[in-house]
A = this chain, B = another copy of it.
């Protein structure tokens, strides 16, 4: 028996804005950051659970404060009990009646819950001696269904529906696990396409992406139409006709603008248009999807919870669903979203990049392949080649694929040296203001 004795937080910020890595039409100067949490127990194995919320700089301290507000749900509790019933543990966070007022189930407080939930999954997987994808993919359909809160979902997905999806996938699990280990999981790359890069850098990186084995790249759009047309032409010339090119507007447009803009880019061959408008706008996404067809609409990295995803699927707002490892309330909620996607037959192509998002989200796609959707058809995990060196188990991306991690845990543990070097202190804050 062990007890959780601390929820240790830290404010980690990488000064990425100096390179314009990660620049797009809405996020001009991100400093990729993590509101980081460690779940520490008194067990003598020294094993800790690590999790984080990804942010882009300012406000990372607010996110840290929100994680601290969850302390009473974890510290002093029996660790085995918390980990044994992760469905109940999840509900204890999300249904805290006072904290719930701060959302409900959205924004800072919901993401904080996600960090703690993910840290507990990291602890659970480490204790089980398995990478998270494998731990999840070996749970029974009943155990998986018990992780999910079906309130507000049953008009689209009932527990019985979920159980059926999982049972249908059960016979092929072992075969698909072997396939995954032998062939990896498909990836695509956003590295070439940031708005802040020059045309020369775009072309060079696009060619490198193809040489590296990627079958899809993605370009940020939505800043200036003439620029976008030129960049799309350059990218298409660089990669040739057979490589997919996705586009990402990062919420820039209203309905009419989105449709008109994409008509101009369509001739270059567009794999999808991502985040054409507000992530809250289910009906506008549906109108855009009708207006830009046959270009698929992709969205999800800023979709606040399973309830909005459910409606987007009901309304036909998206034909590609993009989960994010740290936007919703962690692994449990993302499993609910994977099951919703499976029910509606929509492929899941996770958002990643940032700090540690690749490391974390790959586990969910691999679990999905083995135990939920049973396919990688039309599915790719985003890959951005930034900041992986700071993680204990950095992604292994080669030949256009993510190769499944073998290390126990959820992939969310950052190196202690990196956490320490990039910890954001009052002194650093003052220094950055005066640079």
**A contact set with B: CB distance below 8 Å:** 26-31, 55-59, 61-63, 65-66, 69, 96-111, 151-155, 251, 254-256, 277-284, 287, 302, 304-305, 307-308, 310-311, 314-315
The smallest beta-carbon distance between A255 and chain B, in angstroms, is: 5
The smallest beta-carbon distance between A251 and chain B, in angstroms, is: 7
Q: Is the CB of A102 within 8 A of B307?
A: no
Q: Is the CB of B154 within 8 A of A256?
A: yes
Contact of A254 among B31, B151, B281, B302 (CB under 8 A): B151
The smallest beta-carbon distance between A207 and chain B, in angstroms, is: 30
Q: Is the CB of A283 within 8 A of B280?
A: no
Chain B residues with CB under 8 Å of A302's CB are 104
**Would A155 and B101 be within 8 Å (CB), given that A108-B109, A280-B308 are in contact?**
no
Chain B residues with CB under 8 Å of A304's CB are 106-107, 280
Q: Is the CB of B105 within 8 A of A280?
A: yes
Q: What is the interface of chain A mostly: helix, strand, loop, or mixed?
A: loop
Q: Is the CB of B109 within 8 A of A59?
A: yes
- In the docked arrangement, what's the CA distance between A277 and B314, Å? 17
Q: Is the CB of A281 within 8 A of B152?
A: yes
Q: In the A-B complex, list the 3 residue pairs whose CB atoms are closest, starting with the nearest.
A: A107-B107, A108-B108, A58-B98
Q: Is the CB of B101 within 8 A of A56?
A: yes
Chain B residues with CB under 8 Å of A314's CB are 283
- In the docked arrangement, what's the CA distance between A146 and B73, Å? 45
Chain B residues with CB under 8 Å of A28's CB are 97
Show 22 A/B contacts (Cβ-Cβ < 8 Å), sorted by A.
A26-B100, A30-B98, A31-B98, A55-B101, A56-B101, A58-B99, A59-B102, A61-B65, A62-B69, A62-B109, A65-B66, A66-B108, A103-B107, A105-B278, A152-B254, A152-B277, A154-B255, A155-B254, A155-B256, A281-B307, A282-B283, A283-B311
Chain B residues with CB under 8 Å of A254's CB are 151-155
Chain B residues with CB under 8 Å of A106's CB are 103, 106-107, 280, 304
**Would A66 and B62 be within 8 Å (CB), given that A97-B26, A97-B27 are in contact?**
yes
Q: Is the CB of A59 within 8 A of B155?
A: no
**Would A315 and B283 be within 8 Å (CB), given that A108-B66, A254-B152 are in contact?**
yes
**Would A287 and B155 be within 8 Å (CB), given that A99-B58, A281-B307 are in contact?**
yes
Greatest chain B CB density within 10 A among A29, A103, A308 is at A103
Chain B residues with CB under 8 Å of A255's CB are 154-155
Chain B residues with CB under 8 Å of A100's CB are 26-27
Chain B residues with CB under 8 Å of A315's CB are 283
Chain B residues with CB under 8 Å of A154's CB are 254-256
Chain B residues with CB under 8 Å of A279's CB are 104
Chain B residues with CB under 8 Å of A282's CB are 282-283, 311
**Would A57 and B307 be within 8 Å (CB), given that A105-B280, A110-B107, A254-B151 are in contact?**
no
Q: Is the CB of A278 within 8 A of B152?
A: yes
The smallest beta-carbon distance between A257 and chain B, in angstroms, is: 9
Question: Chain B residue with minimal CB distance to A23?
Answer: B97
